[in-house]
């Protein structure tokens, strides 16, 4: 049956996410907490798969990137050196009439987008970092920030990783972790939230080779989104003009995706020059703290950094948006098999003793290897449809023939093609199906 890709609306997706256990509003019974979300049973599996695939892509598939897991709280001087205390601001305007707040760079009228009145204040700088206190005494000296990006944890560990792993430049450090930004206008579900996870990689190169490495990483990152199975016609590059460039960047490109609410950034690829390492050397008072000694040429230098900065929640949302489709008689979440939370639903055709025992046998074999779900409730059509909507790529059914010849039917979610497979060969078959996911 031809897939009819209907206009995906965020409302439909948000409701599916709640219904199927992907994403819930945080503290829902208290009326929710603005822009905070909880990942449910399927959402947490999907998130784990998104992270695992990124980690594999960055650190296992190649041999020049190491992993790191730095702390969220860092020395306050880090954020002075990085420029965040001074410059990590968005322009904030208030409406004196309706009291709504907006990011000046996200509205294009001088009138209030909410009430239409000409009552907006002048823009003022609003720092996006969350502040908190460390220890029992509340004074200026105990003030710390929740990190607004994971990158700084990587920069300050450059020399630790380089010496511990006996790395030679060029090499990279990859990290997945929480970041916090007190966004003025969070929204569009998990697209922009105040607490989110980043998947960042900083690649350290010799000055002068940075432009070449920048291009190579751009290519690699687009290949990654293709490997995630996203529709190629919904992905594009956006180059930052001189007025958009962050204070640390020499060149920056965003990978954008066409969401139901327009083209938006999915990931940034930046040439951060030697800005961060140089600034840390200056602010920590040890001029060679973060430098590299090239033994071959007997020279010491501050490496340049090519950064790839993706949002985990945003990637997950993109995968959901891209996967959602409505067909005549079913809703399908066509997630790539490697990302799908549940790989196979296992069912007896009807609740008869031999079929139930055979289906349970298949489920027990599959369960330790691939997340699976056993279901014997309701008609087989209903059970298939529930799993289609949950994004499960395979349905395995034990029927009358199973009892006679020890084979089951494996149905593919997308094509609905059916295969007859021996019970002994099911685990291998499913593994191959997931691994062949390209």
Cis peptide leading into residue 327 (ω within 30°): no
Q: Exactly one of 196, 213, 225, 363 binds ligand ATP (CB under 6 A); which one?
A: 196
Nearer to ligand ATP, 183 or 220 (CB): 183
DSSP calls for 317-371: HHHHHHHEEEETTEEEE---TTT-S-SEEEEESSS-HHHHHHHHHHHHHHTTTS-
> Exposed/middle/buried for 7, CB within 10 Å: 0-12, 13-18, 19+?
exposed
Let me know: does 173 contact 306? Beta carbons within 8 Å. Answer: no
Task: Assess 193 for contact with ligand ATP (CB under 6 A).
Answer: yes
Stretch that binds ligand ATP, among 166-174, 259-267, 298-306, 340-348 (CB under 6 A): 259-267
Query: In which element (H, E) is residue 310 found?
Result: strand 304-311
Using CB under 6 A, which of the segments 260-268, 283-291, 353-361, 381-389 binds ligand ATP? 260-268
Measured from the CB atom, is 193 or 273 closer to ligand ATP?
A: 193
Smaller CB separation from ligand ATP, 201 or 310: 310
- Answer yes or no: are the C-beta atoms of 310 and 253 closer than 8 Å: no
3-state secondary structure 139-200: CHHHEEEECCCCHHHHHCCHHHHHHHCCCCCCEEEEEEEEEECCCCCCECCCCECCEEEEEE
Q: Return the residue of 152, 198, 273, 392 that touches ligand ATP, per CB under 6 A.
A: 198
| Stretch 299-338 residues interacting with ligand ATP (CB under 6 A) | 309-311, 313-314
Among residues 259 and 384, whose Cβ is nearest to ligand ATP?
259
Least CB distance to ligand ATP at residue 193 (A): 5
Name which of 148 and 393 has its Cβ closer to ligand ATP: 148
Q: How many residues bind ligand ATP (CB under 6 A)?
A: 16
Choice from 45, 66, 267, 322 touching ligand ATP (CB under 6 A): 267
175 is a contact residue toward ligand ATP (CB under 6 A): no
**Is 320:13 a contact under the CB 8 Å cutoff?**
yes
Which residues bind to ligand ATP, rule: CB under 6 A? 149, 181, 183, 192-193, 196, 198, 265-268, 309-311, 313-314
């Amino acid at each position: 049956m031809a897939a009819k890709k209907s206009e995906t609306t965020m409302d439909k997706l948000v409701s599916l996410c709640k219904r199927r256990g992907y994403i819930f509003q945080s503290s829902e019974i208290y009326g929710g907490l603005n822009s905070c979300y909880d990942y449910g049973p399927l959402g947490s599996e999907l998130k784990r798969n998104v992270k695992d695939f990124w980690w594999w892509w960055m650190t296992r598939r190649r041999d020049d990137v190491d992993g790191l897991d730095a702390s969220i709280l860092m020395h306050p001087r880090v954020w002075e050196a990085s420029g965040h205390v001074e410059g990590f601001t968005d322009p904030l305007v208030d409406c004196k009439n309706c009291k709504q707040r907006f990011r000046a760079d996200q509205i294009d009228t001088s009138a209030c987008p909410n009430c239409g009145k000409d009552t907006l204040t002048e823009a003022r700088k609003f720092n996006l970092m969350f502040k908190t206190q460390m220890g029992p005494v509340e004074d200026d000296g105990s003030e710390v920030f929740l990190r607004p990006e994971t990158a700084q944890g990587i920069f300050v560990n450059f020399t630790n990783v380089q010496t511990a792993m006996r790395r030679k430049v060029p090499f990279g450090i990859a990290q997945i972790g929480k970041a916090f930004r007190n966004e003025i206008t969070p929204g569009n579900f998990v697209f922009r939230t105040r607490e989110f996870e980043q998947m960042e990689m900083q690649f350290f190169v010799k000055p002068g080779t940075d432009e070449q490495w920048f291009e190579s990483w751009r290519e690699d990152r687009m290949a990654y989104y293709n490997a995630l199975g996203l529709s190629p016609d919904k992905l594009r590059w956006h180059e930052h003009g001189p007025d958009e460039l962050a204070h640390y960047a020499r060149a920056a490109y965003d990978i954008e995706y066409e969401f139901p609410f327009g083209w938006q950034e999915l990931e940034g690829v930046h040439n951060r020059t030697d800005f961060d390492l140089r600034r840390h050397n200056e602010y920590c008072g040890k001029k060679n703290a973060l430098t590299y000694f090239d033994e071959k040429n007997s020279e010491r230098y501050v490496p340049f950094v090519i950064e790839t900065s993706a949002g985990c929640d945003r990637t997950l949302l993109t995968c959901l948006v891209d996967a959602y489709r409505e067909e005549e008689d079913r809703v399908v979440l066509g997630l790539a098999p490697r990302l799908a939370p549940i790989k196979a639903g296992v069912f007896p055709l009807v609740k008869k003793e031999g079929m139930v025992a055979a289906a349970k046998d298949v489920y027990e074999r599959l369960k330790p290897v691939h997340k699976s779900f056993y279901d014997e409730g309701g008609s087989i059509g209903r059970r298939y449809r529930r799993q289609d909507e949950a994004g499960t790529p395979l349905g395995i059914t034990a029927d009358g023939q199973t009892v006679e010849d020890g084979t089951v039917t494996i149905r593919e979610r997308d094509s609905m093609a059916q295969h007859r497979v021996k019970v002994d060969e099911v685990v291998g078959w499913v593994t191959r199906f997931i691994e062949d996911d390209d």
